[in-house]
A = this chain, B = another copy of it.
Amino acid sequence: MVSRLKRSAAQKKKILDKARELFWVKGYDKTSIRDIAGACGFEPSNVYNYFSNKEQLLYEILREGLERQISLIADLENDSAHSPVERLRMLIQRNIHHVLGYRRSSGLLFDVGLKNLSPARRKKIIEYRDAYDRIMRKVIRDGVESGDFAEVDDKLAGFAITSIITRSRVWFSSRGRLSADQIADFMFEFVLNGLRSGKTAPDLKTKPR
């Protein structure tokens, strides 16, 4: 029945929420199924009525987080209505807001998480990450072509920007003196300037030791 399905879906979500929180606070390995079940208010074995194992829990959390992050900026990949600068601003703003938003975790979990996934699932998650990177790089390349940015290497610049976004979760405190907005503003300016008058792309022909 509908109510049953709803209940089921709600329980699934609850488990994911508690797991996400615990994974973030204690780490994946240190979080036991018992912990998660306890946080949900039922017995460990019941978790297995919703997820087939701990790894699947991790996978769903990572996937969900990445999907959300991608869908948040997907429209920026090919967007002729806005300038690359404007697209960069939106990309950073939306990302920072997502990362610092109420749904913790999933970001740093990524590095550790990959080690805990089966090859098949690891591959899928990496595909998501690649999709994310693609958008980021496209905006950068468009800015380079339009002359808004300097002749930067889109991969390196992309890594730098992603690094800033990703790690903002680590040092951000919601009770700190700065709001997510302020941080996003600052980071946008910082990155924009970094891109604007940057050195040209590194010479790829020589790789000195």
Contacts and interface: CB of A to CB of B under 8 A. Distances in A.
Interface of A: 26-30, 108, 111-112, 115-116, 152-153, 156-157, 159-160, 162-164, 166-168, 170-171, 177-179, 181-183, 185-187, 189-191, 193-199, 201-204, 207-209
Contact of A27 (B29, B193, B208, B209): B29
Given A156-B178, A179-B208, A191-B194, A186 B168 contact: no
A18 B203 CA distance: 36
Contacts of A202: 178, 182-183, 185-186
Contact of A163 (B167, B183, B203): B167
Contacts of A187: 156, 160
| Interface of A: prevailing SS | helix
A29 B115 CA distance: 11
A209 B204 CA distance: 45
Top 10 closest pairs, chain A to chain B, by CB: A29-B29, A189-B199, A163-B167, A194-B194, A190-B194, A182-B202, A163-B163, A193-B193, A179-B207, A163-B164
Copies of this protein in the complex: 4
Contact of A112 (B112, B162, B163, B197): B112
A177 B61 CA distance: 33
Nearest to A204: B177
B196 A178 contact: no
Nearest to A110: B170
A113 B40 CA distance: 27
A35 to B, nearest CB: 14
A183 B208 contact: no
A209 B179 contact: yes
A49 B171 CA distance: 37
Nearest to A205: B177
